[in-house]
Chains A and B, each alone.
Chain A
Amino acid sequence: MASELPPEFIVKIAYDRCRRCKRCVMNCSFGCMQFTDRVVPEHKLCVACQRCVTFCPEHAITITKNELAYKENANWSPETRQNILKQAETGGILLTGMGNPREYPILWDHLLVDACQVTNPSIDPLREPMELRTFLGRKPDRLEFVESEYGEIDLATEIEPQVRLDVPVVFGAMSYGAVSLNVHRSLAMAAARSGTLMNTGEGGLHKELYPYSGNVIVQVASGRFGVHSEYLNTSAMVEIKIGQGAKPGIGGHLPGEKVDEDISKTRMIPVGSDAISPAPHHDIYSIEDLSQLIYAIKEATDYEKPVSVKISAVHNVAAIASGIVRAGADVVTIDGFRGGTGAAPMVIRDNVGIPIELALAAVDERLRSEGIRNNASIICAGGIRNSGDMAKAIALGADAVVIGTAALVALGCRICQKCYTGNCAWGIATQKPELVRRLDPQVGAGRLTNLLTAWSLELKEVLGSLGVNSIESLRGSRERLRGIGLDSQTLELLGVKPAGVGQ
């Protein structure tokens, strides 16, 4: 049966400018551009990834939304109708990629940062040193010192393992399999250059990247893909993945088509077999079980590496985080509902979870009130778009933030949300060799390093205007934030005053 779905986009070609170089045909990985005696677009196949638009030397291609496809209706949006048609035709779960695109309030955009005027001077970061260094890991309750016989003071408290970040941003967990090896290469190189970390995601670490061990978070997820003792020890930190912001409470299926020779080797599963991650870890049904896995990992790494536990931001996130810290985690990573994914059921991505801003505020507040905030660092993930979001997250209590989507955009991603098809025209979410080649890891690493450099400079400007000279002075300092256009309950949950109110 021919599909009744109208095209989502219309591709217009200005034939008077087209010089028939066929670059658009070669670049389109979705088969939309065909060439007969001239370029003929098959509108239905266009996903608006903009690859052709970017590479057309004459700028002769424009892509527009197919506005006339449906009669206007405020209740029945074109997408709603399109999805119903798709399901009526297939009977399947709607699959999608990237983070939640719906118009939920973005609370970062309702938070404003303070600045110094007159009474306490601001600092010029161009001339004065600014400290962005952050240490992730469990901090002691108190410090004890001993005096040696020569009168020297030495630290007597044993400090738990810490990971040093030169910039409070780490790259998000994106598995080799969901993304290409060139993405992992770019992330690893950029992390090493910028003094931060990349995260393997749940698909193991390719042998080629073992030299980057000091800049890698290795993940242990429910499928235990590519997890062995050498892998655990080839890392700066180990992360137990319980949940992902884009799909809280559900597992993942890497389709068999994406499992090629190299991925099969890294994940240790046969070529072409689905890589299925069950929804829960089957050895974790309680906080006690989680503790058991945390200490199993600590035993396997000789207590030399911090262990992080990553959860999705859900309603009860504060109590769960408290349990995680008490179970022995050194770092808690919270992933909000705008976090990205390579593939998730749309119904989950768009409707499940809570915004990271509220989850972060709730977790930081809960750990403080219980007197255990020093026992673990908090990493905030899911929808960090710029250095402003980062500064606000740190003021709300985060030790560091995660960028996944932002990093991919730096690598060329146009957020077309077709990651699950494996056809990514930008060589990111694909394993097809001819597409993977499109991303040069050296270029990618350069662009990611630039992004982190730029955000660091901007963060220093923000700190300077606040009159502080270290990230530590901003951390958890909600007094330096004000809310705008927020109701009183949201303000209370965020722990910030409304704009216009002084101290």
Chain B
Amino acid sequence: MVMRIDCKGLYYRKQNKIIRDAAEEGETEFILDNANGQRYIGNGIEKNIKITVNGVPGNDLAMFMNGPTIIVNANAQDGVANTMNAGEVIVHGSAGDVIGYGMRGGKLYVRGNIGYRAGIHAKEYKKQIPIIIAGGVAGDFCGEYMAGGVLVLLGLNRGEGVPIAGNYLGTGMHGGVIYIRGEVDEYTLGKEVSVLPLDKKDLKVLTKHLKEYCEHFGLDLDEIMAEPFIKLQPLSNRPYGCLYAY
């Protein structure tokens, strides 16, 4: 059974309670129509449910989420996948600022652009590795303080002269990896990262995730892989180790 909820004029607290209660009783699939800024959709849910959002969801979509799949058939706002643990978020538009902040696992696929401060302090533990892929470009402070995870910027459909990422890319980064399809200017990089070519292992990881990404959005993997990528990695997992007098 699919539960359809008309979100027109529905307060987020009520809407999310309907979803939580129904999921508790075994409902596995939800379709939210006319979503218009309702916050915290999927927040903290631990069950493997599927939520399709028709309309624009509000801030902190999928925050603390642990398992569900959320498909957004529009743009998403700020804080998507904030401190998310597991599950998938697929956004068929662009997403706002601070997406994937402190993300600990799961996948966040955005078809369009992403805003400022994406993937800040994403982390990883053993096999639990968060993946963020954006089809377009990113704003400033992308991957700041990144402690783990994989962040991919594809820069598709961008206008002439539009940079693929803003300033302070990967600043303070001390774990994880950022793959960028194209080039970035040296001056936009944080001083804690280095630019490297991709090795075989990188290509394997990247192809695996991009294959999935392309399936979601009907894109051609070969076409995407035809352009060269660069890799951004932290110079140290202890960037501030020698800052102090003991």
Chain A residues with Cβ under 8 A from B242's Cβ?
92
For the complex, is A210 an interface residue (Cβ under 8 Å from B)?
Answer: no
Which of B39, B65, B244 gathers the greatest number of chain A CB atoms within 10 Å? B244
For the complex, is A147 an interface residue (Cβ under 8 Å from B)?
Answer: no
Interface pair A227/B83, CB less than 8 Å apart:
yes
Segment of B118-126, B181-189, B225-233 engaged in the interface with chain A: B118-126
Chain A residues with Cβ under 8 A from B75's Cβ?
none
Chain A residues with Cβ under 8 A from B205's Cβ?
none
Count class of interface residues, chain A: 35 or more
For the complex, is A401 an interface residue (Cβ under 8 Å from B)?
Answer: no
8 Å CB interface, B169-186 against A: 172, 174-175
Assembled-state Cα–Cα distance A93/B244 (Å): 4
Interface pair A282/B144, CB less than 8 Å apart:
yes
For the complex, is B167 an interface residue (Cβ under 8 Å from A)?
Answer: no
Chain A residues with Cβ under 8 A from B172's Cβ?
276, 278
For the complex, is A480 an interface residue (Cβ under 8 Å from B)?
Answer: no
Which of A256, A300, A301 gathers the greatest number of chain B CB atoms within 10 Å? A300
Q: Mark B90-105, 1 if CB is under 8 A from A, else 0.
A: 0000000010011010
CB distance from B130 to the nearest CB of A (A): 11
Interface pair B104/A268, CB less than 8 Å apart:
yes
Interface pair A296/B64, CB less than 8 Å apart:
yes
Q: Mark A289-307, 1 if CB is under 8 A from B, else 0.
A: 0001001100111100000
CB distance from A343 to the nearest CB of B (A): 8
Interface pair B40/A295, CB less than 8 Å apart:
yes
For the complex, is A265 an interface residue (Cβ under 8 Å from B)?
Answer: yes
Interface pair A283/B66, CB less than 8 Å apart:
no
Interface pair B147/A269, CB less than 8 Å apart:
yes
Contact pick for A296, options B20, B63, B85, B239, CB 8 Å: B63
Contact pick for B121, options A232, A270, A282, CB 8 Å: A282
For the complex, is A124 an interface residue (Cβ under 8 Å from B)?
Answer: no
Assembled-state Cα–Cα distance A323/B13 (Å): 22
CB distance from A101 to the nearest CB of B (A): 18
Interface pair A228/B64, CB less than 8 Å apart:
yes
Assembled-state Cα–Cα distance A302/B82 (Å): 18
Chain B residues with Cβ under 8 A from A78's Cβ?
none
CB distance from A63 to the nearest CB of B (A): 20
Interface pair B16/A299, CB less than 8 Å apart:
yes
Assembled-state Cα–Cα distance A255/B244 (Å): 11
Which residue of the partner chain A has the closest CB to B16?
Answer: A299
For the complex, is A264 an interface residue (Cβ under 8 Å from B)?
Answer: yes
For the complex, is B166 an interface residue (Cβ under 8 Å from A)?
Answer: no
Which residue of the partner chain B has the closest CB to A264?
Answer: B125
CB distance from A230 to the nearest CB of B (A): 8
Contact pick for B174, options A93, A227, A276, CB 8 Å: A276
Chain A residues with Cβ under 8 A from B65's Cβ?
229
Interface pair A265/B125, CB less than 8 Å apart:
yes
Contact pick for A253, options B78, B98, B120, B240, CB 8 Å: B240
Assembled-state Cα–Cα distance A256/B239 (Å): 10
For the complex, is B37 an interface residue (Cβ under 8 Å from A)?
Answer: no
Interface pair B148/A276, CB less than 8 Å apart:
no
For the complex, is A164 an interface residue (Cβ under 8 Å from B)?
Answer: no
Q: A256-B238, A269-B125 are in contact. Are A274 and B117 (CB under 8 A)?
A: no
Q: Mark A86-122, 1 if CB is under 8 A from B, else 0.
A: 1101111111000000000000000000000000000
8 Å CB interface, A235-293 against B: 253, 255-256, 264-265, 268-270, 272-276, 278, 282-283, 292
Interface pair B237/A270, CB less than 8 Å apart:
yes
Assembled-state Cα–Cα distance A276/B20 (Å): 34
Q: A229-B66, A292-B39 are in contact. Are A95 and B244 (CB under 8 A)?
A: yes
Interface pair A274/B244, CB less than 8 Å apart:
no
Chain B residues with Cβ under 8 A from A302's Cβ?
20
For the complex, is A224 an interface residue (Cβ under 8 Å from B)?
Answer: yes
Q: A224-B83, A300-B64 are in contact. Are A268 and B241 (CB under 8 A)?
A: no
Contact pick for A255, options B98, B147, B238, CB 8 Å: B238
For the complex, is B46 an interface residue (Cβ under 8 Å from A)?
Answer: yes
Interface pair B59/A270, CB less than 8 Å apart:
no
Interface pair B85/A229, CB less than 8 Å apart:
yes
Chain B residues with Cβ under 8 A from A94's Cβ?
244-245
Assembled-state Cα–Cα distance A86/B102 (Å): 36
CB distance from B1 to the nearest CB of A (A): 24
Which residue of the partner chain B has the closest CB to A281?
Answer: B101
Which residue of the partner chain A has the closest CB to B147?
Answer: A269
For the complex, is B69 an interface residue (Cβ under 8 Å from A)?
Answer: no
Which of A89, A95, A225, A229 gathers the greatest number of chain B CB atoms within 10 Å? A229
Assembled-state Cα–Cα distance A273/B238 (Å): 6
Interface pair B101/A274, CB less than 8 Å apart:
no
Contact pick for A92, options B78, B123, B244, CB 8 Å: B244
Which residue of the partner chain B has the closest CB to A256?
Answer: B238
For the complex, is A421 an interface residue (Cβ under 8 Å from B)?
Answer: yes
Chain A residues with Cβ under 8 A from B162's Cβ?
none
For the complex, is A203 an interface residue (Cβ under 8 Å from B)?
Answer: no
CB distance from B244 to the nearest CB of A (A): 4
Chain B residues with a Cβ under 8 A of chain A: 13, 16, 20, 39-40, 43-46, 59-60, 63-66, 78-79, 82-83, 85, 98, 101-102, 104, 117, 120-121, 123-125, 128, 144-145, 147-148, 172, 174-175, 237-246
23 pairs, A vs B, C-beta closer than 8 Å = A86-B245, A93-B243, A222-B121, A224-B83, A224-B102, A227-B64, A227-B83, A228-B104, A229-B44, A232-B44, A268-B123, A269-B125, A273-B147, A273-B237, A273-B238, A275-B147, A278-B145, A282-B121, A282-B144, A283-B78, A283-B82, A296-B60, A301-B44
Closest 4 CB pairs of A and B: A300-B44, A224-B102, A92-B245, A90-B245
Known: A268-B128, A278-B145. 10 other contacts (CB 8 A): A95-B244, A229-B45, A229-B65, A268-B125, A272-B237, A273-B238, A276-B145, A292-B59, A299-B16, A299-B40
